[in-house]
Amino acid sequence: MERKFTHCIKRFPKTEVLVIGDIMVDKFIYGNVSRISPEAPVPVVEVTEEKYLAGGAGNVSNNINSLNAKAYLAGIIGNDAVGRNLIENLKKKGIDIKGIFIDDNRPTSLKSRVVAHHQQVVRFDCESKTGMSSKITSQLLDYISEKIPKVNAVVISDYGKAVINQQVLKESISKAKKYKKPIIVDPKIEHFMEYREVTCITPNISEAIAGMRLHKVSSEKEIVALGQSILKQLNCNSVIITRGEKGMSVFEKNKPPLYIPTRAKEVFDVTGAGDTIVAVMSLCLATGADLRISAEIANYAAGIVVGKVGTATVSVEELRAAFQ
């Protein structure tokens, strides 16, 4: 098995992936807590460090880049300092940003987390969820249509911030199918029934339950029924339900379900683990690896990033060490 894993990741440097979705910035404010505020029953955080990292579709692109592959990022940002700094950071890493369009009527999505002693104290979001203008939608669709024939795989990174709408989904899925490119989706509940006929969809257990309009799923038998129901309803090739510390359940057309236990040794922060999974799945499927090998490698990668604090990526060297 290790030889199959190694053979797959050796082919990453020749792989190009188009990432379409909601681009965000994750701000981490780190500090220490030694007292409670006299003004309200809340901790006083003495700030020691601040970090700005690409989140959402930007983090998917960073993960692809860190695995020595080429990422093309398509989405929107605001005309602000947060967006400009993000663009500079992405360019420095070699990520192609020609598909990022500036919307003067919205801010760049910013998620700020205050972390003290490895614990998240609070998160506050500055963003707009209003739809894209017809002009920007047209520019984005033109870019997607031009780029899909030239890449090896497509990722849809849907965080519900307006980039992934019916038009974008229809065009992306149609083009990917036409040119026989694998298309992998990190879904949002609101659009769940629209991800039809994709190669792979990767909901977490909560998204899978809510996306299928269910209230509770707990037993292994119910999870198997859930995965098979998603396969049938969406007519997709495969479904990976991520289950946190319980690993992942893999469903594929005309094959029995597969359960993969977690590879995480320690869990410090689950931020961005889903981004890592879709990034690795896209690279593996693009190289021609089968679904089960791809899911195993993605599971190892997720196990590495949850052991890091903040929005994180995984390297080829870390993956190789994990396989061993």
Q: What local confidence, expressed as pLDDT, does residue 68 receive? A: 95
Which ranges constitute the DSSP H helices of the chain?
2-9, 57-66, 81-92, 134-147, 166-178, 205-211, 220-234, 273-286, 291-305, 316-323
The whole-model pTM stands at: 0.93
Give the strand pairing for 248-252 and 258-260. Answer: antiparallel
What is the predicted pLDDT for the residue at 305?
Answer: 86
Instruction: Write out the DSSP string of 209-242.
Output: HHHTT-S---SHHHHHHHHHHHHHHHT-SEEEEE
pLDDT at residue number 289: 94
Instruction: Confirm if 119 and 45 have CB atoms less than 8 A apart.
Output: no
What are the DSSP calls for 59-89, one per residue? HHHHHHHHTT-EEEEEEEEESSHHHHHHHHH
What's the pLDDT score for residue 309? 65
What's the structural domain count of the chain? 1
Distance CA 179, CA 264 (A): 36
Sign of CA dihedral 141, 146, 151, 152: positive
Q: Which of 29, 282, 18, 60 is nearest to 159 (CA)?
A: 60
SS3 breakdown of the chain: % helix, strand, coil, rounded to 5? 40, 30, 30
Q: Is 252 part of any domain?
A: yes
Cα separations (Å) of 62 from 78, 171, 235? 20, 24, 30
Does some domain include residue 292? yes
Are 103 and 77 in contact by the 8 Å Cβ rule? The answer is yes
What pLDDT does residue 265 have? 62
169's tokens: 């989904």
The one-letter amino acid at 48: T
Would residue 34 count as lying in a domain? no
Domain that holds residue 95: 2-25+54-110+128-323
Q: What is the CATH number of the domain that holds 97?
A: 3.40.1190.20
Tell me, yes or no, whether 89 lies in a domain. yes
Residues annotated catalytic, as ranges: 275
The pLDDT, as a whole number, for residue 6 is 84
> 32 lies in a domain?
no
8 A C-beta contact, residue 77 and residue 83:
yes
The pLDDT value recorded for residue 266 is 64
pLDDT tens-place values along the chain, 324 residues long: 777 888 899 999 999 999 999 999 999 999 999 999 999 999 999 999 999 999 999 999 999 999 999 999 999 999 999 999 999 999 999 999 999 999 999 999 999 999 998 888 999 999 998 889 999 999 999 999 999 999 999 999 999 999 999 999 999 999 999 999 999 999 999 999 999 999 999 999 999 999 999 988 889 999 999 999 999 999 999 999 998 888 899 999 989 999 998 876 665 556 678 999 999 999 999 999 999 999 999 999 998 988 776 677 889 899 888 887
The answer to whether residue 119 sits within a structural domain is no
What pLDDT does 267 receive?
57
* Residue 147, domain member (yes or no): yes
Tell whether 36 is covered by a domain.
no
